[in-house]
């Protein structure tokens, strides 16, 4: 099989290559938003708030999956670039085995301690039953969620980005159809939403298993030595993505606590709507970064400096274009996005719309930070990637959430993320210039 990672790159060919992963993430975010829309519109705002209350647990689960997938795919792609295909396949198999074991462990531990976990996350009595119903089902499907994340990344590494897009579309359409069936005709409420999401995750897992069983592919399941060293290196290399998800869990928790203080359950619902919108707007950056990372790793392993230089240059150019487009779209369609979740003119509508307009400044900057962190992961420099992720999603956020709301009230809450992104891009530029001669980009 021809290895598409080694093909010569132009600006247009890079966009074409990453287009499936961009669309995959956009589609994933879109059907996640539709999921929230069904909950908000056909269950109630409290149910929507409950999903945000328990989402830090999902963040940690996703973080573990993304850590193994991004850190591991960089290592596997580098091995492929060095011509060590058998070692790459054994490493891949070790990683997927570890993902399954981690998923099962989280499911068991999470379900045993589900009640104290929900209350520790700040749930009120009014939100507890919704939180329990949603989290229980998501935890039960933890191994499936881990595998879904894993295959999203490794289908690209294996040279099948279009298949990854197709599986994501099939899973998304399934989720949307089941959302309607479970929530409206069957009246299953938030349980139906969680079950629809998990069944939607299952389809890409089945497709991924079928692909990687086939030994005609460049990457497939390989019996052999379990490479524990690869697991350790993958965790070390992908730690920035784990930090991002853990930080997201912490920041979501803090957002919820602060909004409960200022505006009660409606405040939590409003921040949930804005975070859904953020997920949509940044998904293109995430998709592009996950699509281009294996090519960076492969050419780094091959020591093709000319290609590395072009890939990085074209990537920053594309991110700049995408940032302007995202910001304009967020401002033009802010009202439309908010009305997906709540009635125009309602109290919740005004809270969310006002916050989203302030929050939208994030989209001009965050793409650069996401790509810079992902680029260093692709170079197997997990340390720098982790520093950037920690500053962006945790340190600068904590500083902001402690200071801005006390000075500016609710508007200060909405400004926390934009200011954290601005501070991070300054640090990112310093590292980009510092390591330019090391990685030859």
Q: pLDDT digits over 206-264, tens only?
A: 999 998 988 887 788 888 778 888 898 888 877 777 777 787 778 888 888 888 888 88
Q: What is the pLDDT of residue 4?
A: 63
Domains identified in the chain, total number: 1
| Residue 1: inside a domain | no
As a whole number, mean pLDDT of residues 64-87 equals 85
For residue 152, give the nearest of 303, 324, 311, 283 by alpha carbon. Answer: 283
| Residue 280: inside a domain | yes
Termini Cα distance of the chain: 28
Share of the chain above pLDDT 90, in %: 38
Q: What is the pLDDT of residue 137?
A: 96
**pLDDT category of residue 375 using cuts at 50, 70 and 90:** very high
Residue 369 scores a pLDDT above 90: yes
How many Cβ atoms from other residues are within 10 Å of residue 105's Cβ? 13
* Residues 416, 404 contacting (CB under 8 angstroms): yes
| Residue 393: inside a domain | yes
| Residue 2: inside a domain | no
| pLDDT, tens digit, 9 for 90 and up, residues 33-73 | 888 889 988 988 889 889 888 988 988 898 899 888 888 88
As a whole number, mean pLDDT of residues 140-164 equals 86
d(CA 282, CA 274): 12
| Residue 283: inside a domain | yes
For residue 33, give the nearest of 339, 259, 263 by alpha carbon. Answer: 339
| Residue 137: inside a domain | yes
Domain around 425? 7-439
DSSP state of 303: T
Q: What is the pLDDT of residue 2?
A: 46
| Residue 76: inside a domain | yes
What is the average pLDDT value for the chain, to the nearest integer? 88
d(CA 263, CA 261): 6
User: What residues contact 22, with CB distance under 8 A and at least 6 apart?
Assistant: 284, 287, 288, 291
Q: Is 237 left (phi over 0), alpha (psi -120 to 50) or beta?
A: alpha
| pLDDT, tens digit, 9 for 90 and up, residues 278-292 | 888 888 998 899 889
Q: What is the pLDDT of residue 224?
A: 72
Residue 386 scores a pLDDT above 50: yes
- Half-sphere exposure at residue 254, Cβ-oriented, CA atoms within 13 angstroms: 21
| Residue 194: inside a domain | yes
DSSP-assigned letters across all residues of 92-115: HHHHHHHHHHHHHHHHHHHHHTHH
* Residues 179, 123 contacting (CB under 8 angstroms): no
| pLDDT, tens digit, 9 for 90 and up, residues 249-263 | 788 888 888 888 888
**pLDDT category of residue 3 using cuts at 50, 70 and 90:** low
Residue 127 scores a pLDDT above 80: yes
Q: What is the pLDDT of residue 1?
A: 42
| pLDDT, tens digit, 9 for 90 and up, residues 395-416 | 999 999 999 998 998 899 999 9
Pick the residue with more confidence: 293 or 156? 293
The gap from C-alpha 360 to its chain's centroid, in whole angstroms, comes to: 18
Q: What is the pLDDT of residue 324?
A: 94
As a whole number, mean pLDDT of residues 173-200 equals 93
Share of the chain above pLDDT 70, in %: 98
């Amino acid at each position: 099989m021809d290895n598409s990672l080694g093909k010569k790159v132009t600006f247009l060919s890079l966009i074409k290559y990453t287009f499936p992963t961009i669309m995959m993430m956009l589609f994933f975010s879109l059907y996640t938003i539709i999921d929230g829309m069904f909950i908000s519109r056909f269950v109630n705002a409290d149910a929507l708030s409950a999903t945000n209350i328990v989402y830090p647990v999902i963040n940690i689960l996703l973080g573990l999956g993304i850590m193994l997938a991004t850190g591991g795919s960089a290592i596997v792609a580098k091995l492929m670039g060095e011509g060590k295909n058998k070692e790459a396949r054994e490493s891949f198999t070790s990683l997927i085995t570890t993902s399954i074991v981690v998923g099962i462990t989280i499911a068991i531990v999470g379900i045993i301690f589900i009640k104290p976990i929900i209350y520790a996350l700040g749930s009120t009595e009014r939100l507890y039953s919704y939180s329990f119903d949603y989290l229980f089902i998501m935890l039960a499907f933890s191994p499936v969620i881990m595998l879904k994340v894993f295959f999203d990344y490794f289908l690209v590494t294996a040279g099948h980005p279009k298949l990854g897009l197709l599986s994501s579309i099939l899973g998304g359409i399934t989720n949307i159809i089941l959302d309607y069936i479970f929530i409206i005709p069957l009246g299953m409420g938030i349980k139906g939403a969680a079950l629809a999401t998990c069944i939607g995750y299952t389809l890409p897992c089945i497709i991924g298993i079928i692909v990687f069983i086939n030994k005609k592919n460049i990457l497939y399941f390989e019996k052999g030595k379990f490479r524990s060293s690869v697991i350790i290196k993958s965790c070390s290399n992908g730690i920035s993505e784990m930090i991002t998800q853990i930080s997201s869990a912490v920041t979501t928790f803090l957002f919820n606590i602060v909004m409960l203080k200022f505006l009660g359950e409606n405040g939590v619902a409003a921040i949930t709507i804005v975070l859904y919108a953020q997920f949509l707007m940044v998904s293109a950056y995430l998709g592009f970064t996950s699509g281009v990372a294996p090519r960076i790793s492969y050419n780094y392993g091959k020591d093709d400096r000319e290609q590395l230089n072009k890939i990085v240059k074209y990537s920053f150019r594309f991110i700049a274009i995408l940032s302007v487009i995202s910001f304009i779209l967020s401002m033009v369609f802010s009202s439309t996005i908010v009305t997906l979740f709540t009635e125009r003119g309602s109290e919740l509508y005004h809270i969310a719309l006002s916050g989203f307009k302030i929050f939208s400044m994030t989209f001009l900057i965050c793409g650069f930070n996401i790509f810079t962190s992902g680029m260093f992961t692709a170079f197997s420099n997990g340390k720098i990637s982790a520093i950037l992720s920690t500053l962006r999603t945790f340190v600068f956020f904590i500083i902001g959430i402690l200071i801005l709301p006390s000075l500016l009230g609710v508007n200060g809450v909405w400004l926390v993320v934009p200011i954290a992104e601005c501070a991070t891009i300054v640090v990112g530029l310093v590292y980009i210039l510092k390591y330019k001669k090391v990685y030859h980009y």
